[in-house]
Amino acid sequence: MLGKIEKIELRDIWKHEVSDFTNWLAERDNFQLLAEEIGLDMQVLKTEANVGNFSADILAEEIDTEKKIIIENQLEETDHKHLGQIITYASGLEAKYIIWIFKEMREEHRKAIDWLNEITDDDLSIFAIRMELWKIGDSLPAPKFNVICSPNDWAKAIKKNSNLQNLTDTDLYRIEFYQGFIDYSAKQKTVLKISQKASNKPWYAIRIGNSQIKINLTISVQQNFIRTELYINNNKELYNRLFENKTQIETTFGNTLDWREDLQEEAKASRIQFVKEGIDIKRKENHLEAYKWLLENSEKLYEAVKNYIK
């Protein structure tokens, strides 16, 4: 016997955008669902953030960079008023990311967001998200964030650096390698949420459901190694809890891990690492082996710690 999937009207659950939906979204677990869907490691700073005589629904920041993020919610079809508001709020708060959440999107607004993402450089990225609620039979409604528009990071990186003059060979290599990893992962049945965001950073981040912890992939062109690690941001209590279960975690993982706790008071991060050395990833024929190793061991690392990080 199979259940029937039923779509729920947003207003049946959230009567008011501000007092109901915005407050729901700002809760940590709910906000993490949005963060994972769009591939941003972010946290809420405040709701109803003042911008002159107006207020943005949510002001957030990207955790690693502290770049500002504004989120505007609309439980109806998109309109010109909210399009103008998100641009006004982004300007007033010097935001680097805009997230517009709505029930339905008019075609002219989708084209406008795609156009803005196309003409702006890497200093501004805009996401358009359709909000849905679904349930099966008598189950509780489950939220679903659907990305309708998102920035093209590869195109932005190329556009920002005219004729590639500001991108080093290593920058270009990282973008190509991580995009290859993203494309490879999309064809696998992985438990991990692999975002579509490739950049020239030394690492590639995978979110795993907790804003203070993520899996970072690292490649070294010069030293011929690849690495997957659990990166714990400014939470020694969480690191200590994992370390107390070190034996069980390594047994589940199937190998010894390199545990690196930052002992200095000002340190922000601790790491649990697994490294593969001696792989020349400058040679493209080694890329498939590297993608396979990174994905498999990242999955194993997540499985080993998932019960301790909730």
Closest to 297 (Cα-Cα) out of 235, 247, 242, 253 = 253
Quote the CA–CA distance of 38 and 28 in Å, as a whole number. 16
* 146 pLDDT above the threshold of 70: yes
- List phi, psi (to 5°) of 294: -65, -45
Residues 170, 301, single domain; the answer is yes
Distances in Å between the Cα of 167 and the Cα atoms of 66, 132, 224 are: 23, 40, 21
Interval 150-198: pLDDT, tens: 886 544 544 444 444 566 777 778 888 998 999 899 899 898 988 767 7
Domain assignment present for residue 158? The answer is no
Residues 78, 190, single domain; the answer is no
Residues 102, 138, single domain; the answer is yes
Interval 231-241: pLDDT, tens: 998 788 899 99
What percentage of residues in the chain have a pLDDT greater than 70? 91
At which of 129, 151, 173 does a domain end? 151
Domain that holds residue 44: 5-151
Interval 75-84: pLDDT, tens: 999 999 999 9
**What pLDDT shows up at residue 281?**
83
Please answer whether residues 122 and 160 qualify as being in contact, where contact means their C-beta atoms are separated by less than 8 angstroms.
yes
Q: Which residues contact 198 (CB under 8 A, 6 or more apart)?
A: 153, 154, 175, 178, 179, 182, 204
Domain assignment present for residue 31? The answer is yes
**What pLDDT shows up at residue 1?**
67
Residues 141, 171, single domain; the answer is no
DSSP state of 17: I
Q: How many domains does the chain have?
A: 2
Quote the CA–CA distance of 210 and 227 in Å, as a whole number. 21
Residues 93, 183, single domain; the answer is no
CATH, residue 23: 3.40.1350.10
The model carries a pTM of 0.59
At which of 151, 178, 212 does a domain end? 151
